[in-house]
């Protein structure tokens, strides 16, 4: 019985193994980019993920249910140079009844002018729809509004 020599110039990888390796690398890159830059990098283009404004509106519902006035009145960055709290008209367009808290006045608890001033925000930044330039001008009108209180 004669053995025929096999041609062993290199090892063959099954095509299935190559596909699994490529998919594994793609998933790894997706996760790295997603966790480092945010998954909105991918899903924002397809409008699959809720916007920051909608996510804030959903959080506002929870703040009302949990009676958390501090969180309700805290300003959040929802877009470049735009900050809102739960009393913003932008938030109330999502859930007008669920985000309303009639006996809380966020302008007294966390005045937008002081927020602009204490965070050194540029004049072009908007807080609840008003530019910081206009809000900071109101600080000079009211001597009770200062950062030393």
- What length is written for the chain? 149
Q: Would you place residue 5 in the very low, low, confident or very high pLDDT band (cuts 50, 70, 90)? A: low
76 and 97 together in one domain: yes
39 and 71 together in one domain: no
33 and 88 together in one domain: no
Rounded to a whole number of angstroms, the CA Rg of the chain reads 27
Task: Give the residue-averaged pLDDT of 16-39.
Answer: 87
> Is residue 73 pLDDT above 50, yes or no?
yes
Total of domains in the chain: 2
> Is residue 55 pLDDT above 90, yes or no?
no
> Is residue 78 pLDDT above 80, yes or no?
yes
List the structure tokens of 149: 């209180």
76 SS3 class: strand
Are 50 and 58 contacting, i.e. CB atoms less than 8 angstroms apart? yes
**H or E stretch covering 73:** helix 69-73
41 and 95 together in one domain: no
Q: Which residues of 35-65 are buried (b: 16+ CB within 10 A; e: fewer)?
A: eeeeeeeeeeeeeeeeebbeebbebbbebbe
What pLDDT shows up at residue 47?
56
Domain that holds residue 103: 52-141
> Is residue 17 pLDDT above 70, yes or no?
yes
Task: Give the residue-averaged pLDDT of 121-128.
Answer: 89
Q: Would you place residue 24 in the very low, low, confident or very high pLDDT band (cuts 50, 70, 90)? A: very high
Alpha carbon distance 60, 131 (integer Å): 23
């Amino acid at each position: 019985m004669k053995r025929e020599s096999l041609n062993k110039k290199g090892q063959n990888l099954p095509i299935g193994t190559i596909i699994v390796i490529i998919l594994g690398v793609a998933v790894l890159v997706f996760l790295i980019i997603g966790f480092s830059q945010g998954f909105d990098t991918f899903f924002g283009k397809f409008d699959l993920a809720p916007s920051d404004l909608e996510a804030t509106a959903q959080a506002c519902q929870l703040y009302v249910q949990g009676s958390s006035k501090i969180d309700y009145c805290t300003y959040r960055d929802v877009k470049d140079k735009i900050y809102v709290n739960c009393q913003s008209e932008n938030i109330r367009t999502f859930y007008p009844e669920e985000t309303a808290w009639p006996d809380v006045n966020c302008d007294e608890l966390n005045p937008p002018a002081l927020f602009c001033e204490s965070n050194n925000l540029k004049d072009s930044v908007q807080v609840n729809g008003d530019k910081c330039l206009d809000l900071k001008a109101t600080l000079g009108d009211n001597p009770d509004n200062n950062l030393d209180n």
